[in-house]
Amino acid sequence: MPSTVVLGASWGDEGKAKIVDTLAEKMDVIVRFQGGCNAGHTVVHEDKKFVVHIIPVGILHPQKICIIGNGVVINPYQLIAEIEDLQKQKISFENRLFISSQAHITLPIHTYLDEMNEKKRSKNAIGTTKSGIGPTYAEKSSRSGIRISDLLDSKYLSARIDNIINSKKELLSDWIDKNDVKKMKMDLINIGKKIEKSIVDTPILINRFLDENKDILFEGAQGTLLDIDFGSYPFVTSSNASIGGAITGSGINPKKINKIIGVMKAYFTRVGNGPFPTELKGKIGNFIREKGQEFGATTGRPRKCGWFDLAATKYSSMINGFDEIALTKLDIYSGLKEIKICTHYEIDGEKIDYFPNRIQQLEKAVPKFISLPSWNEEISDIRKYSNLPKNAKIFIETLEKIINLPITIISVGPEKNQTIFRNKN
Ligand code: IMP
Q: What average pLDDT score do residues 167-185 get?
A: 95
Return the best residue to mutate from 224, 226, 268, 328 for the ligand 1 pocket (most ligand atoms within 8 A of CB). 226
What is the pLDDT at residue 425?
A: 43
Please report, for residues 71, 165, 239, 252, 254, the alpha-carbon distance to residue 248 in angstroms, rounded to integers and kept in the order given: 7, 28, 10, 8, 9
What is the pLDDT at residue 419?
A: 97
Per DSSP, the three-state class of 8 is: strand
Distance in Å, CA 382 to ligand 1 centroid: 33
Range of the domain at 389: 265-424
Residue 348 domain-assigned (yes or no): yes
Ordered alpha helix ranges (H), 168-273: 173-178, 181-195, 202-211, 243-248
Confirm whether 331 is a catalytic residue.
no
Distance in Å, CA 311 to ligand 1 centroid: 21
Distance in Å, CA 132 to ligand 1 centroid: 11
Residue 116 domain-assigned (yes or no): yes
Whether 154 and 189 have beta carbons less than 8 Å apart is answered as yes
Return the best residue to mutate from 7, 37, 38, 116 for the ligand 1 pocket (most ligand atoms within 8 A of CB). 38
Relative to the CA of 299, which ligand 1 atom is closest? Answer: 12
Same domain, 305 and 386: yes
**Residue among 13, 114, 150, 323 flagged as catalytic:** 13
Relative to the CA of 134, which ligand 1 atom is closest? Answer: 4
Residue 313 domain-assigned (yes or no): yes
Same domain, 301 and 415: yes
Residue 279 domain-assigned (yes or no): yes
- Is 134 near ligand 1, meaning CB less than 6 Å away? yes
**Residue range 123-165, pLDDT digits in tens:** 999 999 999 999 999 999 999 999 999 999 999 999 999 999 9
Phi and psi angles of residue 145, each rounded to the nearest 5 degrees, phi first: -70, 170
| Cα–Cα dist 328/412, whole Å | 7
Q: How many CB atoms lie within 10 A of CB 168?
A: 17
Q: How many CB atoms lie within 10 A of CB 278?
A: 23
Same domain, 272 and 419: yes
Same domain, 274 and 376: yes
CATH no. for residue 191?
1.10.300.10
pLDDT(424) > 60: no
Relative to the CA of 130, which ligand 1 atom is closest? Answer: 3
pLDDT(51) > 90: no
pLDDT(58) > 80: yes
| Cα–Cα dist 389/399, whole Å | 16
Residue 231 domain-assigned (yes or no): no
Per DSSP, the three-state class of 411 is: strand
SS (H, E, C) 54-123: CCCHHHHCCCCEEEECCCEEECHHHHHHHHHHHHHCCCCCCCCEEEECCCEECCHHHHHHHHHHHHHHHH
Same domain, 291 and 395: yes
For the chain, the average pLDDT equals: 95
Same domain, 400 and 301: yes
Q: Give the burial string for 190-228 (b: 16+ CB within 10 Å, else e).
A: ebbeebeebbeebbebbbebbeeeebbbbbbbbbbbbbb
Residue 70 domain-assigned (yes or no): no
- Is 222 near ligand 1, meaning CB less than 6 Å away? yes
Residues forming beta bridges with residue 50, ordered by sequence position: 43
Same domain, 272 and 179: no
Which of 195, 217, 234 delimits the end of a domain? 195
Q: What average pLDDT score do residues 212-233 get?
A: 97
| Cα–Cα dist 227/357, whole Å | 12
Taken in order 178, 180, 184, 187, the sign of the CA dihedral is negative
| 73 vs 57, higher pLDDT | 73
Same domain, 184 and 279: no
Radius of gyration of the chain (CA): 21
* Domain count along the chain: 2
Helices 108-121, 133-141: crossing angle, 10 deg rounding? 110
Same domain, 275 and 131: no
Which of 169, 195, 221 delimits the end of a domain? 195
- Is 15 near ligand 1, meaning CB less than 6 Å away? no
Same domain, 142 and 275: no
| Cα–Cα dist 91/86, whole Å | 5
Whether 308 and 342 have beta carbons less than 8 Å apart is answered as yes
| Cα–Cα dist 170/410, whole Å | 52
Which of 180, 195, 210 delimits the end of a domain? 195
Phi and psi angles of residue 144, each rounded to the nearest 5 degrees, phi first: -115, 10
**Residue range 365-401, pLDDT digits in tens:** 999 999 999 999 999 999 999 999 999 999 999 999 9
**Residue among 21, 41, 110, 309 flagged as catalytic:** 41
Q: Strand 407-411: give its sheet, edge to edge.
A: 199-200, 97-100, 65-68, 29-32, 216-219, 3-8, 259-265, 324-328, 407-411, 419-421
Please report, for residues 123, 224, 315, the alpha-carbon distance to residue 356 in angstroms, rounded to integers and kept in the order given: 23, 13, 9
Residue 94 domain-assigned (yes or no): no
Residue 5 domain-assigned (yes or no): no
Relative to the CA of 38, which ligand 1 atom is closest? Answer: 16
Same domain, 278 and 404: yes
Confirm whether 110 is a catalytic residue.
no
Distance in Å, CA 144 to ligand 1 centroid: 24
CATH no. for residue 320?
3.90.170.10
| Cα–Cα dist 379/330, whole Å | 8
- Is 126 near ligand 1, meaning CB less than 6 Å away? yes
| Cα–Cα dist 47/21, whole Å | 13
Same domain, 285 and 411: yes
- Is 131 near ligand 1, meaning CB less than 6 Å away? yes
Q: What average pLDDT score do residues 192-196 get?
A: 97
Distance in Å, CA 297 to ligand 1 centroid: 11
User: Model pTM?
Assistant: 0.96
Instruction: Give 9: exposed, middle or buried? Use CB within 10 Å, 0-12, 13-18, 19+.
Output: buried
Distance in Å, CA 324 to ligand 1 centroid: 25
pLDDT(44) > 90: no
The residue whose CA has the least distance to atom 22 of ligand 1 is: 12
